[in-house]
Amino acid sequence: MKSHFLPHPKKGTRAKLLSPTAFFGYIFFVCSLIFTTKIISLKYPLILGYATNVRVEDLLEYTNLERQQLGLQSLKLDSKLNNAAYSKATDMFSNNYWAHTSPSGVQPWSFIVDSGYDYIYAGENLARDFNNSKSVIKAWMNSPTHRDNIISSNYEQIGFAVVNGKLNGEETTLVVEMFGSLKTPDYLAVNNVEGVKTLIEKDFKAIPIPILNVKTLNRNVSLVIMLFVLFLFILDGLYVWKKGIVRISGNTLAHILILLIAIVGVWYTSLGSIL
Amino acid sequence: MDTNFYPFHYLVLFAILIFGSTLFVLLGAFPLARFGVVLVSSVVYILWGAFYHSYSERLSCSIFLEYALLAVFVVVLFAFLLELV
């Protein structure tokens, strides 16, 4: 058992779990996982799928909580702004871009005007690849420009879209938050619990949430495997150093360095981005 | 125990990997380009290993294989993570 985790003191070989055979095993295991998850997510999307737990009612609640903490009026959910946000999200998917302005120069305001919302002030926040509503609002609040939109006293209404699709070949959840205030007051926007619930039922199709999220699963499995191999290399390095073993092998410090940077990269891919 | 310690070589490796990581972060919206960065960084890692050991006249097939397998391991994991298959 010891030889699986520690290098051989006399033969000058690495631990069995760091041998070429073991590495072939890890690579084979990851390749098998790639195909297994692919097949399961295609055949059983409700078990292993892509939908995240970002919900419009939560986004509205957290946005208004931030405003209430500053003594600002709560924003009312507006059907036209919901439609504008949805149009923007589908436009990003169909034209394959991730920006406020489309490659053909279409501004966010076009979607707002096209939805029939005659605005005097308008704003837009975008987010992608977040796992839950709270982390979306937190990321926006940490960015001065997005925060300015959330806590602006110029806005009275708000609309959202949470849409799944493929962007640059990657399964993505886009969140669009549109802010506005009308030139002439409109009393159709709502902020009471019942009104919000009814409007959400009317404007949004329920997205089924799978038991397991593919992205979360892939990230966690990658992290566990990498951390395990990193642990073995650290153990190997410490053991060889402590015992003063002289051997001819690859550079353990370099292996640790590349694994550490790869782990940071894996962790980074789990973070959503905002625009 | 590594009896030949060349700090400059480590510095070069560190700089290469940091450059790769920065590109990886900047290319956030382009998974294929991100994977390209991982691929190139891994190849550079193998070349660095080969150079490092040939410099101290200790390069052998088994050492080269060790670098290559670790690089392939990282590449396959990122292919899995970025869902490129």
pLDDT tens-digit map of B60-74: 899 999 999 999 999
The helix/strand/coil state of A19 is coil
| Residue A126 touches chain B, beta carbons under 8 Å | no
Q: Which two tokens stand for residue A246?
A: 């002289």
Give the mean pLDDT of chain A.
Answer: 87
Q: How far apart are CA B42 and CA B68, in angstroms?
A: 8
Q: For residue A201, what are the contacts with CB-CB under 8 A and spacing of at least 6? A: none
All residues of chain A having their beta carbon less than 8 Å from the beta carbon of residue B30 are 168
pLDDT classification of A200: cutoffs 50, 70, 90 = confident
ipTM of the complex: 0.91
> Is the sign of the CA dihedral A26, A28, A31, A36 positive or negative?
negative
Q: How far apart are CA A1 and CA A7, in angstroms?
A: 11
Q: What is the CB neighbour count within 10 angstroms for residue A118?
A: 12
| Residue A273 touches chain B, beta carbons under 8 Å | yes
| Residues above pLDDT 70, as percent of chain A | 96
The full set of domain ranges for chain B reads 30-85
Mutate to test the interface with B, among A221, A258, A263 (most CBs of B within 10 A): A258
User: What pTM does this model have?
Assistant: 0.79
- DSSP structural state of residue A126: E
pLDDT tens-digit map of A129-174: 888 899 899 999 999 999 999 999 999 999 999 988 888 777 888 9
Q: Which two tokens stand for residue A105?
A: 């120069």
CB contact under 8 A, A30 and B76: yes
- DSSP structural state of residue A78: -
Mutate to test the interface with B, among A50, A128, A261, A271 (most CBs of B within 10 A): A261
DSSP A24-63: HHHHHHHHHHHHHHHHHHHH-TTTEE---B--HHHHHHHH
Span A102-126, average pLDDT = 92
pLDDT tens-digit map of A130-139: 888 998 999 9
Mutate to test the interface with B, among A224, A251, A263, A267 (most CBs of B within 10 A): A251
| Residue B69 touches chain A, beta carbons under 8 Å | yes
| Residues above pLDDT 90, as percent of chain A | 47
CB contact under 8 A, A34 and B72: no
| Residue A229 touches chain B, beta carbons under 8 Å | yes
Q: Which two tokens stand for residue A67?
A: 């405003």
Q: How far apart are CA A175 and CA B9, in angstroms?
A: 45
Our CA angle for B74, B37, B48, nearest 5°, is: 65
pLDDT tens-digit map of B19-53: 999 998 888 777 888 899 999 999 999 999 999 98
pLDDT tens-digit map of A8-57: 877 778 888 999 999 999 999 988 988 888 888 888 888 877 767 788 88
Q: How far apart are CA A107 and CA A111, in angstroms?
A: 8
Closest CA to A178 of A268, A235, A115: A115
